[in-house]
Structure 1
Amino acid sequence: MNQKNIVWVLIVLVVLGSLLYTLSGGESPEQYRERIEEERERQFKFLKFNADSPLTGEQKSELDQLEFFPVDPVYKVKARMVPAQNRRMLELPMTDGSVERYIRHSFAEFELEGRILRLLLLQAADEKDSRNFFLAFADATSGDVTYGGGRYINLRQDGQNSVTIDFNLAYNPYCAYNPDYACPLPPKENVLDVPILAGEKNYIK
């Protein structure tokens, strides 16, 4: 390869690198991983030290770390939001047998490892910000390496008809740590038959 071709290859690589950097929201892979790890550390410290933690005093003293899948950018996806045809109020069952009311807002459609998946986005009945959503889901790992009652992700719409779902930020509900708490169960639309190997694993005392 002559010098001129080498220069062109370098220019193309720089342009591609800049494009990827822009599409990732201005984060390098290392920065992204560090941000996820920082959020996980914040979550650990809340459970370990905060007065509002669902953990008992004994659990706090014994908690050394939380278990997570390795950070994997594959599980950060851009989803298309499709409005629910019947945007009605949904009574979501809780782990204690009660119900909590949410609005069936829209469906998030995305591709993950070659499959098209679809999840129902919920909005709390008293939510003041129309761009905030609640995602409760279960998958093929639920009841095995992850909590059987599913996991949660807090979402914020980041496009006119799109939302970014980062499964690396999936976390356990309070009832995964303490059965005295009541937590919403995932709606039937959000029970996936594929494993989501990202986010928080099951809590084992």
Structure 2
Amino acid sequence: MNTRNILIIGVLAVITLAVVYTLTGTDDPEVYIEKIEKERERQYKFIRFNIESPLSELQKRDFKELDFYTVDPAYKVRAKMIPVEDRKMMELPMTDGTVEKYLKHSFAEFELEGQTHRLLLLQSIKELDKRNFFLAFADGTSGEETYGGGRYINLRQDGKNSITIDFNMAYNPYCAYNPDFACPLPPKENVMEIAIRAGEKDYKKD
């Protein structure tokens, strides 16, 4: 193989890596993991110390840490946004039996573990920034390793017709810590059969 061919292959390899980087939105692994760990530390401090924490003062005294899966960049995916044909408000059931209204906005379609998945992106009627979305989901870990009522991810549209979903950022609703809170349950469209072993695990009450 001559030098020119080696150079061409090298250039193509760099281009391929750049395209993959752009499509997946993946940072340098060490930088990415550090960012997730900092966010988890922020979550812990909020739950442990903030006046708006769902924990009671008694719970706070005994609270030592949040439990998370190991950060796995494979659970950060790029999804295509497919608009809901008939956008309308839906009533999402809450854990206390009431309902809360959300706009059915788009479906996020992506590949994970060799399968194509489609999740419903919702938008609160109180949301002013129309690029922000709410994702409530349940999966194969729900009720066992993670909270039975599902987990949440806050999303922001970062492309014309695309959005990044990072399951490493999945967090528990307030009702996972304190049943006095009412939390939205995942819509049926967002109950996944696969196990999403990323993000926050169930809160262990001592």
TM more than 0.5? yes
* Count, aligned residues: 205
Instruction: Give the aligned residue type for 2:58.
Output: E
| 1:188 is aligned to 2:188 | yes
Q: Give the structure 2 partner of residue 98 of structure 1.
A: 98
Question: 5+ unaligned residues in a row in structure 2: which ranges?
Answer: none
- Give the match's secondary structure for 2:97: coil
Deviates more, 1:188-197 or 1:15-24: 15-24
CA contact 1:54–1:178 (8 Å) conserved in 2: yes
Q: Give the structure 2 partner of residue 148 of structure 1.
A: 148
Instruction: Give the aligned residue type for 2:82.
Output: V
The superposition leaves residues 82-118 of structure 1 with CA deviations (integer Å, 9 ceiling, x where unpaired) of 1112211101000001110000111111110101111
Q: Give the structure 1 partner of residue 68 of structure 2.
A: 68
- Tell me how far apart the structure 2 counterparts of residues 51 and 10 of structure 1 sit (CA, whole Å): 55
For normalisation by structure 2, the TM-score amounts to: 0.91
| 1:174 is aligned to 2:158 | no
Instruction: Give the aligned residue type for 1:163.
Output: I
Instruction: Give the aligned residue type for 2:44.
Output: F
- Tell me how far apart the structure 2 counterparts of residues 8 and 125 of structure 1 sit (CA, whole Å): 52
Deviates more, 1:14-23 or 1:185-194: 14-23
Structure 1 residues 7-86: aligned runs within 5 Å: 20-23=20-23, 25=25, 27-86=27-86
| 1:132 is aligned to 2:132 | yes
- Tell me how far apart the structure 2 counterparts of residues 12 and 60 of structure 1 sit (CA, whole Å): 54
CA 1:145–1:101: 2 relative to 1, 3 Å: same
Q: Give the structure 1 partner of residue 204 of structure 2.
A: 204
Question: 5+ unaligned residues in a row in structure 1: which ranges?
Answer: none
| 1:122 is aligned to 2:122 | yes
- What root-mean-square deviation, in Å, do the aligned CA atoms of Structure 1 and Structure 2 show? 2.1
Aligned identity (percent) is 64
- Tell me how far apart the structure 1 counterparts of residues 10 and 55 of structure 2 sit (CA, whole Å): 53
CA contact 2:109–2:116 (8 Å) conserved in 1: yes
CA 1:51–1:161: 2 relative to 1, 3 Å: same
Runs of at least 4 residues of structure 1 off by over 2 A? 1-27
- Tell me how far apart the structure 2 counterparts of residues 131 and 28 of structure 1 sit (CA, whole Å): 26
- Tell me how far apart the structure 2 counterparts of residues 172 and 75 of structure 1 sit (CA, whole Å): 17
CA 1:157–1:4: 2 relative to 1, 3 Å: closer
For normalisation by structure 1, the TM-score amounts to: 0.91
